[in-house]
Amino acid sequence: MSELIASGNAHPLAAARKPRFRYSPERPLAWLVAAAGLLWLLPGRAGTVAGQTALAIIALLTIADFALLPSRRALAVSRELPETVGIGDTVEGAYHVESHWPRALTIELADHFSPFVSGGAGLTEASFDPYSSRSLAFRVSGETRGRAPLGVVGARARTRLGLLSARFLFSGDDSILVVPSLSGVRRFRMLAMQHRLENAGVRSLRRRGEGFSFANLREYAIGDDPRRVDWKATARRARLITREYTVERSQTVITLIDAGRAMTQIAGERSRFEYALSSALILTDIAANAGDRVGALVFDDEIRAFVPARPGRGALQSIRDAFVPLQATSREPDYASAFRYLAAHQRKRALIVFITDVIDPRASQALIAHVVRSTARHLAVVVALRNDAIFAAALPRAAGGSAALYESAAAEELILAREEALQRMRRAGVSVLDVSPQAMTAGVINRYLEIKSRGAL
């Protein structure tokens, strides 16, 4: 077995088994044999002697090349990759290859990944001096959520003669976790930081909301709200004393995600459900860094996952782990059971960011009723995902004749019915965000920061 050395976060790979053909001829050997064959065409005995001599020389060179090929213990390989990759995201990895052979080698790597990921070393080739090491970079992209085994790595080693090659197979138990996409998380963190001017000493305006807590007492100043005068302290000190309040920074943010039939629709390269999970994770990251308590609930006709709200980076990890095995289903969502479950497990007032699809007032009647009812306890933001294909179909087209006209009219009717459902929620005091799946993350983060800045929660 090859000796394998791991460095840093690299995962050691072990030589699992011999390939079916340990040694194989290379193209230069084939060209030499073909050239020797041409010598046999020389007239008379000269052709025979020349051909036999050439074949003998080729045989000696092949034996010498065979003797110069490395043994199975002469190579050390380790593979280094991040622990996670988002769907559609690309991360960089590296193979660390060490040659313990006293001859110069050319080593070519090829690997085979599971369907959960794509990319890899491909046919990466590099030259190695005697007793040397190199790192060979490669990229991996996430395709399907879940734990992705990284599979077998093949190595082919050649000497400078290049007549033969020795083949080795390496395998390990390493893997990478494919999670919902977190692309752009740094950009959204910077956006959040730009809204935290008070941390840099900038005085902010008084903010409205229910999250006020008592800070201290101070002498009344012109412009203070008379309703905050503390009359008991005023009587004791014989001068007007007012109470000073601060807005509670630690608030609760719950992401509620519909995993029902409408969320299986494809929007661009991914389903609407994948966009919802990605936006929920980025919102969770931003809110957790802002000091808020974060949680999540995913449902279709039953509760698929629930992570109670708690502070810190550990909450983000828990939510991410809960999201990994989830898939949208063809079932109709049960809004009543989801909101009952939420009411039983989240009694404290919270910001509920509900990512779902809104079709029309009749189809969304249960959704509207439960969202409106929840506003008595929570601050609800409904993220209504648009169907961009319907909006595109509603645009009038010159070509297509009467069929295109009917299609446009039907699409416009659907859009108007959907807007009526959204307006019903807005009139009931529900904050509605009407966005395309691709633009959802930016819209959700901006709405969250707006609510935080106003102290509306």
Q: What is the pLDDT of residues 117-130, one digit of tens each?
A: 887 766 678 999 99
**Residue whose C-alpha is closest to residue 138's, from 104, 179, 176:** 176
**Both structure tokens of 151:** 């599979």
pLDDT in tens, the chain (457 residues): 333 333 335 677 765 456 667 889 999 999 999 988 888 888 888 888 888 899 999 999 999 999 999 988 899 888 888 988 888 888 898 889 999 999 999 999 888 777 888 877 666 789 999 999 999 888 888 888 888 888 788 889 999 999 999 998 887 778 898 988 877 666 676 666 555 434 433 333 344 444 455 567 888 887 777 888 888 888 888 888 888 765 555 789 999 999 999 899 888 888 899 999 999 999 999 899 888 999 999 999 999 999 999 988 888 889 989 999 999 999 999 999 999 999 999 989 999 999 998 877 777 888 888 888 888 889 999 999 988 888 777 777 666 667 777 778 888 888 888 888 889 888 888 899 999 998 899 889 889 988 887 777 6
User: Beta-carbon neighbour count of residue 372 at 10 Å?
Assistant: 16
CA dihedral 82, 10, 119, 271 (to 10 degrees): -30
SS3 248: coil
Q: What are the tens digits of pLDDT across the range 285-302?
A: 989 988 899 999 999 999
DSSP helix/strand/coil, 139: strand
8 Å CB contact between 432 and 179: no
211-264 pLDDT tens trace? 455 567 888 887 777 888 888 888 888 888 888 765 555 789 999 999 999 899
Tell me the per-residue pLDDT of 156-198, one tens digit each, with 9 for 90 and over: 999 999 999 999 888 777 889 898 887 766 667 666 655 543 4
3-state secondary structure of 110: strand
Cβ distance 179 to 165 under 8 Å?
A: no
Is there a contact between 452 and 192 (Cβ–Cβ < 8 Å)?
A: no
State percent of the chain over pLDDT 70: 85
Cα 82 off chain centre by: 12
Tokens 């101070």, residue located: 218
Alpha carbon distance 288, 448 (integer Å): 12
Half-sphere CA count of 103, side-chain side, radius 13 A: 18
Distance from C-alpha of 263 to C-alpha of 328, rounded to nearest angstrom = 6
**Rg, C-alpha atoms of the chain:** 33
Domains and CATH numbers, the chain: 11-179 (2.60.40.10), 212-247 (no CATH), 252-454 (3.40.50.410)
Pair 159, 105: CB distance under 8 Å: yes
